[in-house]
Amino acid sequence: MRHRTETRPLRAVLAPPPQWRLAAVALAMASVGLAAHAQSSDPQAPRGSFFTPTLSLGQTYVRGTGAVDGGGKGEFITRISPGLTWISRAGRVQGSANYALDTSLYSRRKGDQGLANNLNGSLRVEAIENRAYVDAQANISQRSISPFGQQSGSDTFQANANRTEVINVAVSPYVRGSLAGVADYQLRLSGSATDSRSGSANNSYNGSASVSLRSSASQSRFGWGASASEQRVVFRQGRTTSNSRINGELNFRPDVDWLLFVNGGAEQTDVLQSGGASYGNWGGGVRWTPSPRTSATLQADRRYFGDSHRLVLEHRMSRSVFRFSDFRDATSGSDPFSVSRSITAFEDLFAQNDAAGVKDPALNALLVAQQLAVRGLNANDVVGFGSFLTTSVSLQRRQELSFSWSGTRTSFSLQAFATELSLLTAAAVGNSALSAGVKQSGQTASASYRLTPTAAVNAFVSRQVTPGSGSQLGNSLRTASLGYSEQLSRTLSLTLNARYSLFEGPISPYREAQASAGLLFRF
């Protein structure tokens, strides 16, 4: 049961989109995504490409104080969600794609249908063996337009003018190799685009080119590196900005567990002022890897916007993964996979498996599919919040803490985040409310217990808080759910779920309770 940002006639939803959007969706559907379901019981075994059509049918009863049910009278909502999953572990094509089109039919709003696209994905193609590659990613999801407007969880049916469907596509071809065994090189082109159905003000495009050269002996006592990059960010109704940077690095390895490095260079950018200016940049850091299960990285740099830093701590045990990260850096609205976006249940489990050592993306997708099925979770449920659209290059600091544990019958995960964002580019269209800066924080917790090999119960709670800033008043969103799932046969699953949401704020506050039942067919 997906959130609906708007209710429109079906023919209006299916009207031909602009040419670039159609091309982006075609690329996304054809070549990128993350799998949501898998049929094999042993993810280590299958090799090759797999296509799995799916059909989800559900019935939900919603009652609340918002506009969804006609003033507290309650409403039945029927959901029909056809989908297609593709996973490839064959040859030079590695990746997966999962797409679903959610259609909602409302008992009180006759003649209206709500439609929402859901797509997550990644793909790697080895075009020339050990030499040329293409990485691609795509995502279609729901995001908030403003952090100070009405906020909605992933499974709410509240009408929300502050929520919109966003298409993100990124493609990056690159070439890498060795120069006479002395240095390793990489040449990379990257392009990404963000398209919002709320209007062109939030649409953006990002293009970059980079070249890097590094000493080949990665385990030697001394090493060096050099890089140059050019980036251009275009906002449809904002100012176009560019950044050019050249940098050099020296590193020293006093011990097999330690790596020390320093860097310095220069960059020219017009982000802070339209005429552009040149800036020196320098920094350094340390990486400690006492074992394959534990790592710590600290890096601090001086950039054109001031100080930036990156701190990452990771530790994994046989059944658990711990991770803490703290970033301060510039980010753009056209960066579709930055740390500022929402995180789905699929992506959360994918990241946990990656941290646990599963580096094969397609194999990871198969593992996540099984974990979702066992826990009775939906791949597109949002489990990490803190995402909204901007029309400017921005400065962001984000801290994240996560812990997950997976047992024979019981699994649970905890997450917390805190973020601060301020605009770097002046005259950002439609984002005057962000000029004073935005802070957000939130926590999520989920747990599941396997009653039998085919049945499980699960629980989920979340909280997101946006304090007031300047003339804007703050808000908070709290959600709790309890569910039951059972694999009735190899191709059929049953889910039962109860959910309660409470949004408090000056704009369209609401409380919502819902009960739902659904069937998922895998053909």
Among 440, 520, 348, 383, residue whose Cα is nearest residue 146 = 440
pLDDT score recorded for residue 113: 65
Burial of 74 (0-12, 13-18, 19+ CB in 10 A): middle
Joined tokens for residue 183: 């240095």
Burial of 173 (0-12, 13-18, 19+ CB in 10 A): middle
Beta-bridge partner residues of 281: 265
pLDDT score recorded for residue 199: 66
CA distance 360 to 513: 40
pLDDT score recorded for residue 148: 86
Question: How far from 146 is each of 143, 186, 198, 381, CA to CA, in Å?
Answer: 9, 38, 11, 20
60: part of which helix (H) or strand (E)? Answer: strand 49-64
CA distance 319 to 322: 11
pLDDT score recorded for residue 333: 60
pLDDT score recorded for residue 188: 97
CA distance 405 to 391: 38
Identify the architecture of domain 10-522 in CATH: Beta Barrel (2.40)
**Contacts (Cβ under 8 Å, ≥6 apart) of 401:** 323, 324, 414, 415, 416, 417
Cβ-count burial 100-132 (b if 16+ within 10 Å, e if not): bbbbbebeebeeebbbbbbbbbbbbbeeeeeee
Cβ-count burial 468-492 (b if 16+ within 10 Å, e if not): ebeebebbbbbbebebbbebeeeee
Find how far residue 168's CA is from the centre of its chain. Answer: 10
pLDDT score recorded for residue 45: 43
Joined tokens for residue 243: 């950044």
pLDDT score recorded for residue 41: 35
Q: What is the CA radius of gyration of the chain?
A: 23
Joined tokens for residue 455: 């049945």
Contact 335, 206 (CB under 8 A): yes
* 36, amino acid identity: A
Question: How far from 504 is each of 148, 386, 393, CA to CA, in Å?
Answer: 11, 16, 29
| pLDDT per residue rounded down to tens, the chain (523 residues) | 344 444 343 333 333 344 334 334 433 333 333 333 333 334 444 567 778 898 999 999 998 876 544 556 788 999 999 988 888 877 788 888 888 898 888 887 665 567 888 888 888 899 999 899 999 989 888 788 888 888 887 667 777 888 888 888 999 999 999 998 889 999 999 999 888 876 656 788 899 999 999 998 766 889 999 999 999 998 877 788 999 999 999 999 999 999 999 999 999 999 988 888 999 999 999 999 999 889 999 999 999 999 999 999 999 888 888 999 999 998 876 554 444 455 667 777 777 677 666 767 777 777 777 677 666 566 666 655 556 677 778 888 999 998 988 888 998 889 898 988 888 875 444 555 566 678 999 998 989 899 998 899 989 899 999 998 878 889 999 999 999 999 898 888 899 999 999 999 998 899 999 999 999 888 8
pTM, entire model: 0.80
* 4, amino acid identity: R
Among 187, 421, 257, residue whose Cα is nearest residue 327 = 421
Largest Cα separation within the chain, whole Å, is: 75
Beta-bridge partner residues of 321: 316, 404
Kindly list the domain boundaries of the chain, sorted by start residue.
10-522
Among 396, 521, 364, 377, residue whose Cα is nearest residue 447 = 377
* 55, amino acid identity: L
pLDDT score recorded for residue 431: 53
Long-range own/partner contacts, residues 210-217 (CB < 8 A, 24 or more apart): 210/186, 211/185, 211/186, 211/187, 212/185, 212/186, 213/179, 213/183, 213/184, 213/185, 214/183, 214/184, 214/185, 215/182, 215/183, 215/184, 216/178, 216/181, 216/182, 216/183, 216/184
Pairing assessment for the beta strands 258-269 and 394-406 based on DSSP bridges: unpaired
Residues in the chain: 523
Long-range own/partner contacts, residues 513-517 (CB < 8 A, 24 or more apart): 513/62, 513/63, 513/64, 514/1, 514/60, 514/61, 514/62, 514/63, 514/155, 514/157, 515/60, 515/61, 516/1, 516/58, 516/59, 516/60, 516/61, 517/58, 517/59
pLDDT score recorded for residue 375: 60
**Residue in this structure with the two tokens 């006759």, named with its chain if needed:** 110
